[in-house]
Amino acid sequence: MKFDKFESFAKINMSLNVIKRLPNKYHKIESLIAFVKLSDHIKIRSNNLIKNKIYFYGKFSKGIDKNNTVSKLLNLLEKEKLIKNKKFEIKIKKNIPQKAGLGGGSMNAASIFKYLMKKKIVNISSKKAKEIAYKIGDDVILGLEKKNSILLKNHKIIRIKKKINFHVLIVMPKFGCSTKNIFLGVKQFSKPEYIRANKRLFDTNNLIQANNDLESIVFKKYSKIKHLKYFLSDLPNIVFCRMTGTGSAIVAYFKSKNAAINAAKIFKKKYKNYWYITSKTI
């Protein structure tokens, strides 16, 4: 049987507010989320083997644990008896760096989950799909729809049809950030700002004024990321610059492709050994 092929796109947090620490030590957050054309490439087919086979390859495949988001998804679907008498061979080319705040692993699981539902291999209600997604990881539900999204403090997600049309330069130092460790540093909390569907939240002026509450924690821990943001913020024609998720990736936003490409050239001269890519919001 031939492989089916599709892409798993990176997500970016255009804003992130930490609202509250919960008794289980997790946090309530709210965020404005978009997707960019940077993607992992996925191949999948059913097979006659006795267990699922998941292969990761490519630049950012090193060190992926066997207990990854994709294996968690398949194991959970089998445990819930939502997949019967089927095993899969899955190959994932990792173009999205790990521990970058770009949701690579979560989006892999979400994309495969969407594929299984679209092919009617898994037949469940949208409510049950959300329950499954949250059991795999908090970000997985974001990838079930490739739309700009408002994440509310109560975990509700509002999908927004408005396009934002930014060209971006995404950069990352030679190390990633641990989500758990960064959230452990949160001492102050923001008041909720997002309470309903509002397309204007994605207006450029609002995005410029927005914030990522985790930046101050990351910058104290990693001065290289702080200096990286300061450098990017001074690039020609930049609209704004912000860390995504818990880092370590920083995203610089531009209105034109040429501006992003020129910024990448300047960046490369200063940071010769850092990873970077130009892309565009979807």
Rounded to whole angstroms, the Cα distance separating 154 from 195 reads: 10
Q: What is the pTM of this model?
A: 0.95
Q: What is the pLDDT of residues 54-106, one digit of tens each?
A: 999 999 999 999 999 999 999 999 999 999 889 999 999 999 999 999 999 99
**Can you tell me whether residue 228 is helix, strand or coil?**
helix
Q: Which among 258, 237, 108, 102 has a CA at the least distance from the CA of 170?
A: 102
At 24, is the pLDDT very low, low, confident or very high (cuts 50, 70, 90)? confident
**Model confidence at 160: pLDDT above 90:** yes
Q: Mark whether 11 is an active-site residue.
A: yes
Rounded to whole angstroms, the Cα distance separating 144 from 212 reads: 23
Rounded to whole angstroms, the Cα distance separating 113 from 139 reads: 13
pLDDT at residue number 165: 96
With 0-12 / 13-18 / 19 or more C-beta atoms within 10 angstroms meaning exposed / middle / buried, residue 117 is middle
At 263, is the pLDDT very low, low, confident or very high (cuts 50, 70, 90)? very high
**% of the chain exceeding 70 in pLDDT:** 100
**Can you tell me whether residue 50 is helix, strand or coil?**
coil
Structural domains present in the chain: 4-159 (3.30.230.10), 161-280 (3.30.70.890)
Q: Is the dihedral of CA 68, 69, 74, 76 positive or negative?
A: positive
| Angstrom distances, CA of residue 277 to CA of 40, 120, 229, 242 | 14, 36, 15, 15
Average pLDDT, the chain: 96
Q: Is the distance from CB of 18 to CB of 25 less than 8 angstroms? A: no
What does the pLDDT average to over 236-245?
Answer: 98
Axis-axis angle for helices 104-118, 69-79 (nearest 10): 40
Residues 6+ apart with CB under 8 A from 12: 33, 34, 35, 36, 101, 102, 168, 170, 244, 251, 281
Q: Which residue has the tokens 């892999």?
A: 108
Rounded to whole angstroms, the Cα distance separating 105 from 99 reads: 9
What does the pLDDT average to over 219-242?
Answer: 98
At 47, is the pLDDT very low, low, confident or very high (cuts 50, 70, 90)? confident
Among residues 93, 139, 213, 229, the one annotated as catalytic is 139
